[in-house]
Amino acid sequence: MPGQIDDIKARLDIVELVQSYIRLNKAGSNYKALCPFHSEKTPSFNVSPTRQIWHCFGCGLGGDHFKFVMQIEGLEFPEALELLAKRAGVTLRREDPRLKSERARLYQLAEEAAKLFASVLHGSKSPERITAPLAYLKKRGLADDAITAWRIGYAPDSWEYAMRALAAKGYTPEEIERAGLAVKSGDGRRHDRFRNRITFPISDASGRVVGFSGRIFDQIDKADQSASGLSETADKNSFIKHSDSSTLPVLSAPAKYINTPQTLIYDKSKILYGFDRAKEAIRKENAVVLVEGQMDVVMSHQAGIKNTVAVSGTALSTDQLRTLKRLSNTIISSFDRDAAGEIATKRSLDLAAALDVERKVAILPSGFKDAADAVLKDPEIWRRAVAEAKPVAQFFLETALANHDAKTAAGKRAVAEAVLPEIKIIGSEVEKSHWIQELSRAIGVGEEALWRELAKSKPAAANAFVPAETKKGSAPASRRSQLESLLVGTLLIHPETGQNLPEVPRHAFLDEKRLQIFEIIESALRENVREHSALLAAVPAELQELANYLAFQAEVLHERIESAAERGREILVCIRELEREWARDRLRVLSADIGEAERTKDEARLKVLLDEFSAVSAKVGE
């Protein structure tokens, strides 16, 4: 197993791996970004292409390829191993028993279901004739390669088709239910969740199928066929219907869409449809186009807007927004032109403002309901809407002006009431000022009056949806710990700073491993070893990873220091501050002990403690 892990690391560049999740910027010999694991405004997340490791100086997290994937995907090591092995093209020679987790089993099951539904969609035995669901998709404008690439399928009009097919592959009814593919009825029997539905596999950020969205086919088919002549081209018998008792009539009108419920591998508040395919384009464009449905995503990609994703519900969640913010600073929203769509757009945009993301709205011409509708008519209509997306404040201002007469007092007030809450949640004071000026010109009201109204107005409802920020990382390291890490790391990458080094107090070290590495370096320097690689080689194998990590931290912290003399001065300051921090910590302990000695009237112990307190206090003042 260790050999395979090393092989995976050798094949995967950590910069490319991390950059597939977050947007990195070059910073000297390393790369920087806003940390994806805690909230910050100044980048403290660093990636080293030379050392193939990463570290955040804000939350303290760091490590190699595996630790990054485990942290950002929420995976255990066996799952991260399997994911990275697949990405690297490495075949795991023997299956670790830990890989046979329930999660891994559900991933396999979801993949088999995707293959099954796709095979039914393309199931016509005659090449001249196609299944009715496939004909419907083509009528909606989907190209053959898009249907194949997005693995769109069809779940037959049967109560047990998927259950039987998956059982034949060795999956139990309980597993099929846990994967969200089966439903248990009141009498305890299980049946297929997806029946007579066009299926859209939903994948996680790594491209693994985790669930499905199923769009009802029957009513759409019947409404469309008479007008389009589909009955002449579609092989209606080529999609599977069972004539036995497993096929039951649907007595009530089914929902247009049904989705996989919450499972061990699928959380709709975190997954974005199409994100696995869009993330690279999102990073390159520094913008994401947010639409409502699966058809909108597929058609948008088909039109060349490849940075498009969709939510799995009515509005964007905070987790989804944070995922997008890792790759871009701009969200372009476009939802269905109906009441629910407007509410979803509003809530999503408010959320984005609360997390300081630039917000825009892509506005389709009248007569087009959504992106898929526009692309079907003419892809250029949708491309133009995205390219000309308006800032959200402008969108709300124009909408309010269209709905109210800004020449009347009541109209002016209505426009202001519609726009000011949106301005209030803008993070930038400069941008706020700009939109106050625009509002002032639009309704003919002085800016001072609008600023007073802004102060009284309630912000848009963003805060109601954004929970308090929680850090996933460990608590930041203490100053003393940081100093000893900096000391050891600097000596590793710049051995010349160790010449004429003053006595370093061993008692000041908190960590035994860092002290051990320091003493190895000190010994090597006495033997005139002056090469970074030679110093690293002198460190025992079990401490190599830590030594490399400390060197990387020091490299980042010293990236702006070029002269050896200045580095030498930094080392001296570091040693002095390290002992001061030890002294401060020791004084706190001594103070408590002195208080205890005074309470117990232990005169002898009190004298010893006071003498030590005086000696240690002198070190703080040095």
Handedness of CA 393, 398, 399, 405 (dihedral sign): positive
Same domain, 357 and 406: no
CA distances from 376 to 75, 125, 138, 546 (A): 40, 29, 10, 56
- Cα angle vertex 144, ends 140, 149, to 5°? 105
Asked if residue 347 has pLDDT above 80, the reply is no
Q: Do 351 and 325 meet the contact criterion of CB atoms below 8 Å apart?
A: no
Q: Which of 127-136, 145-154, 306-315, 454-463 has the lowest mean pLDDT?
A: 454-463
For 143, the 3-state DSSP assignment is coil
| 325 belongs to a structural domain | yes
Asked if residue 225 has pLDDT above 60, the reply is no
- Read off the pLDDT of residues 474-510 as tens digits, 9 standing for 90 and up: 445 677 888 888 888 888 888 877 777 778 878 888 8
Burial of 16 (0-12, 13-18, 19+ CB in 10 A): exposed
User: Residue 314's pLDDT is what?
Assistant: 58
* Domain termination site, one of 259, 292, 315: 259
Average pLDDT value for residue range 565-592 = 84
Same domain, 301 and 425: no
Asked if residue 57 has pLDDT above 60, the reply is yes
User: Residue 583's pLDDT is what?
Assistant: 86
| 269 belongs to a structural domain | no
Domain that holds residue 20: 2-99
* DSSP 8-state assignment for residue 189: -
Residue 108 neighbours by CB under 8 Å, 6+ apart: none
Q: Is 114 left (phi over 0), alpha (psi -120 to 50) or beta?
A: alpha
* Domain termination site, one of 259, 283, 311: 259
Q: Which of 120-129, 398-407, 529-538, 539-548 has the lowest mean pLDDT?
A: 120-129
Same domain, 223 and 121: yes
Same domain, 305 and 343: yes
Residue 445 neighbours by CB under 8 Å, 6+ apart: 412, 416, 439
315 vs 433, more confident: 433
pLDDT band at 526 (very low <50, low <70, confident <90, very high): confident
What is the 3-state secondary structure of 254-305? CCCEEECCCCCCCCCCCCCECHHHHHHHHHHHCCEEEECCHHHHHHHHHCCC
Pairing type for strands 45-48 and 53-56 reads antiparallel
User: Residue 227's pLDDT is what?
Assistant: 36
**Total number of domains in the chain:** 5
Asked if residue 224 has pLDDT above 80, the reply is no
| 469 belongs to a structural domain | no
- Read off the pLDDT of residues 372-386 as tens digits, 9 standing for 90 and up: 999 999 999 999 999
Asked if residue 228 has pLDDT above 80, the reply is no
- Measured distance CA(47)–CA(162) in Å, rounded: 45
Same domain, 111 and 255: yes
pLDDT band at 468 (very low <50, low <70, confident <90, very high): very low
* Domain at 562, CATH number: 1.10.860
Average pLDDT value for residue range 350-372 = 85
Asked if residue 366 has pLDDT above 70, the reply is yes
Same domain, 127 and 239: yes
| 342 belongs to a structural domain | yes
Q: Which of 231-240, 371-380, 527-536 has the lowest mean pLDDT?
A: 231-240
* Domain at 241, CATH number: 3.90.980.10
367 vs 473, more confident: 367
Average pLDDT value for residue range 547-575 = 79
Q: Do 230 and 132 meet the contact criterion of CB atoms below 8 Å apart?
A: yes
Same domain, 211 and 238: yes
222 vs 138, more confident: 138
- Read off the pLDDT of residues 246-300 as tens digits, 9 standing for 90 and up: 444 444 556 788 999 989 889 888 899 999 999 989 988 999 999 988 999 999 9
579 vs 315, more confident: 579
Q: Do 41 and 21 meet the contact criterion of CB atoms below 8 Å apart?
A: no
User: Residue 2's pLDDT is what?
Assistant: 59
* Domain termination site, one of 99, 134, 150: 99
* Domain at 47, CATH number: 3.90.580.10
pLDDT band at 164 (very low <50, low <70, confident <90, very high): very high
Residue 261 neighbours by CB under 8 Å, 6+ apart: 180
Same domain, 431 and 549: no
| 15 belongs to a structural domain | yes
Same domain, 124 and 246: yes
Share of the chain above pLDDT 90, in %: 36
User: Residue 470's pLDDT is what?
Assistant: 36
Same domain, 588 and 571: yes
Asked if residue 240 has pLDDT above 80, the reply is no
- Measured distance CA(467)–CA(447) in Å, rounded: 33
Average pLDDT value for residue range 229-236 = 38
| 237 belongs to a structural domain | yes
- Read off the pLDDT of residues 59-112 as tens digits, 9 standing for 90 and up: 888 999 999 999 888 777 888 888 899 888 888 765 555 445 788 889 999 999
- Read off the pLDDT of residues 168-197 as tens digits, 9 standing for 90 and up: 999 999 999 999 999 988 888 999 999 999
| 525 belongs to a structural domain | yes
* Domain at 444, CATH number: 1.20.50
Q: Where do the H-state alpha helices sit in 425-563?
A: 429-443, 447-456, 479-493, 512-526, 532-538, 541-557
pLDDT band at 232 (very low <50, low <70, confident <90, very high): very low
Average pLDDT value for residue range 526-530 = 80
* Domain at 371, CATH number: 3.40.1360.10
| 109 belongs to a structural domain | yes
User: What's the mean per-residue pLDDT of the chain?
Assistant: 83
Same domain, 499 and 593: yes
Cα first-last separation, the chain: 52
171 vs 399, more confident: 171
Instruction: Tell me the sheet residues that pair with 330.
Output: 358
Same domain, 33 and 143: no
